Amino acid sequence: MAFLVTARKYRPQRFSDVVGQEHIIKTLVNAIRSNRIAHAYLFCGPRGIGKTTTARLFAKAINCPDVREAEPCNTCDTCLQISEGRHIDVLEIDGASNRGVGEIRNLREGVHYVPTSAKNKVYIIDEVHMLTPEAFNALLKTLEEPPPHVIFILATTEPHKLPPTIMSRCQRFDFRRMRVDEIVSQLQHIAGQDGITAEEDALVTIARKADGSMRDAQSIFDQVVSFSEEGITSVAVRDVLHLVDREYFFRLTNLIKEKDTRGGFTFVEDVVSSGYDIQEFLVGVEEHLRNLFVARSTGETRLIETGEQERERYRQEAPNFPESDLLRLINIVSDAKQSVRFSGQQRIVFEIAVMKMIKMTSTVELHDLIKKLDSSPDSASADHSRRGSGSDTGSPSLFNKITEPGKGEYAPSKQASFPASASMQGSGEPVPGNIAERWAQFAKNVQSKRTLGLNLGLCKPVTVKGDNLNIACNDEFCMQQLSQEYELIRKQFQDYFGIRLIPRFHVSTDTRQSAATLSSSSDPPHPIVKTIIDELDAELLP
């Protein structure tokens, strides 16, 4: 008997043999049991996940004379002929090569003939999205009201290319990609049936390379079995597929941890001399960093698609890298992937990315820095001595303004608030609390250009005088932008707050302030944070 590839040899012959599509199998089985068979079905999903196989199983189940619990017997002539693709009443049509209106017209003529030996005539149209618009139009009426003995099963990998009129006449089933563990389990079953020894890590590598396709995984399985005489090993899989040895990725993160620049250049030389594609290598590095991030963030490794031995390595390595550092490393690799794609000097781009990762300084959280500064007696005493000696008369230091002894308030040289201009200061009454607290939200809700809301967020209501609400603007340009939409702002202000005040915009004479610093908060910014905002013209991110 001629050799039969694994994908055909182990094609499911019963619904219970189908892997990874339980939600679809349950629906079809229940429909058969309750005799609620629709006239048209649409099977959607990626390649190699069982669309055509499920269509054949369904055709067998509804035509088998000895069906039990919705499962075909697989022993009668009907089941055997459908399994071999030679039953006269079950027609499999390739939509890619029979895509014209002429072929569909022939199909329309054939549907009126009753089945020769089966209960139902089944048309399985694969890659149905390849049909021409004229062919879809010719199929439309027949698909909507076929004869009672005809059932259509359409299969496609690109359902978005189907006309809505076709999709609305079918029951749609979306097949999902196979999980790595599902593919590994099936490959282990196949290896056991064929007496082939297989390492779990090797099967995991095959499953990951298959990208959710069982058929692709079985094809790679056959290829590796032909290559290796000692069974399926991780080394054999890497050699056949020319995959990057994952030891390279752990070696790279170890260089990053050790800040080993010299080793980084040697590392790049080893990768290039091994013949690995740099773009593909960076994809692997990105996934490796993602696995470390998952292990560090969640404290577990079940979301990492790899073998148990490698999961343990991730579990041990993850504590060596802060989450913020891993995110920055991932960004470096992502930028390098884009640069490599369009660069004529891929090695240099790769080297620069590796050096960036190795030389990257560790992230320090702002609140940790403030906590250290607050708890540092040296800095406090030094600043106190400078104040006593009058040394702060020169260039002001960023942190030389601290609380006076015995006082609990912070008094920087620049005002941290957003005051009105000189023409408004000292006049009017305080702004009502509901306006001050809800101003930032009002700026977000303004229904106009996005820049209008941003400019409003950079302003602050200051005082109320009569019917006028004095509002301090960020600068002259900001005020000009707002004046162009004045009527819209005035109307929406009155609708939002329910107060008949007339907004009056003025240019502030003080430093700029971001929308985040103007929003209400129960806790005022830390004194050092306020100083950073004043001295460096910084902004607080929400």
Q: What is the mean pLDDT of residues 360-364?
A: 76
Which of 236-245, 485-494, 514-523 has the least mean pLDDT?
A: 514-523
pLDDT for res 493: 84
Average pLDDT, the chain: 82
Mean pLDDT to the nearest integer, 68-90: 92
How far is the CA of 343 from the CAs of 278, 350, 471, 520, in angstroms? 11, 10, 51, 48
CB 431 within 8 A of CB 463: yes
What pLDDT does 230 receive?
80
**What average pLDDT score do residues 76-100 get?**
92
pLDDT score at 365: 62
Distances (CA, A) of 253 to 202, 337, 357: 23, 18, 9
Residue intervals of the chain classified under CATH 1.20.272.10 are 247-359
How many C-beta neighbours within 10 Å does residue 383 have? 17
Strands 468-473 and 460-465: antiparallel
Which pLDDT score is estimated for 434? 76
**Mean pLDDT of the 250-266 span:** 94
Domain with CATH 3.40.50.300 in the chain: 6-174
pLDDT of 229 = 79
The two three-digit tokens of residue 451, written as one number: 């820049």
Q: Where are the beta strands (DSSP E) in 371-479?
A: 429-430, 460-465, 468-473
CATH topology of domain 180-241: Helicase, Ruva Protein; domain 3 (1.10.8)
pLDDT over 60 at 382, yes or no: no
Predicted confidence (pLDDT) at residue 234 exceeds the cutoff of 50: yes
- Work out the pLDDT band at 535, boundaries 50, 70, 90: low
- Residue 269's pLDDT band (cuts 50, 70, 90): very high
Model pLDDT for residues 462-497, shown as the tens digit of each residue: 888 878 888 888 777 778 778 878 888 888 888 888
| Residue spans in the chain of domains classed CATH 1.10.8.60 | 180-241
What is the Cα–Cα distance from 293 to 60, expressed in whole angstroms?
Answer: 48
Q: What percent of the chain has pLDDT over 90?
A: 54
pTM across the whole model? 0.64
Q: How are beta strands 429-430 and 460-465 bridged, if at all?
A: antiparallel
* Each residue's pLDDT tens digit, 50-59: 999 999 999 9
What is the mean predicted confidence (pLDDT) over 78-101?
92
Residue 513 has pLDDT above 60, yes or no: no
Check residue 418 and give its pLDDT.
Answer: 35
What is the mean predicted confidence (pLDDT) over 20-48? Answer: 94
Mean pLDDT over 450-461 rounds to 78
Three-state SS at 279: helix
DSSP secondary structure letter of residue 229? S
Q: Give residue 415's pLDDT.
A: 33
Confirm if 13 and 83 have CB atoms less than 8 A apart. Answer: yes
Q: pLDDT at position 485, please?
A: 81
Residue type present at position 438: R
CATH class of 6-174: alpha beta
CATH number of 247-359: 1.20.272.10
Which ranges in the chain are annotated with CATH 3.30.300.180? 429-536
- Average confidence (pLDDT) over 201-226: 93
Q: What is the pLDDT confidence band of residue 443, given thresholds at 50, 70 and 90?
A: confident
Q: Which pLDDT does position 414 carry in this prediction?
A: 36
Tell me which of 485 and 83 has the higher pLDDT. Answer: 83
Which residue has better confidence, 252 or 512? 252
Taking residues 3-8, what's their average pLDDT? Answer: 90
**pLDDT of residue 163 exceeding 80:** yes
Contacting residues for 362 by C-beta, under 8 A, at least 6 apart: 322, 325
Considering the domain delimited by 429-536, tell me its CATH architecture: 2-Layer Sandwich (3.30)
CA–CA separation, 270 and 248 (whole Å): 9
What pLDDT shows up at residue 367? Answer: 62
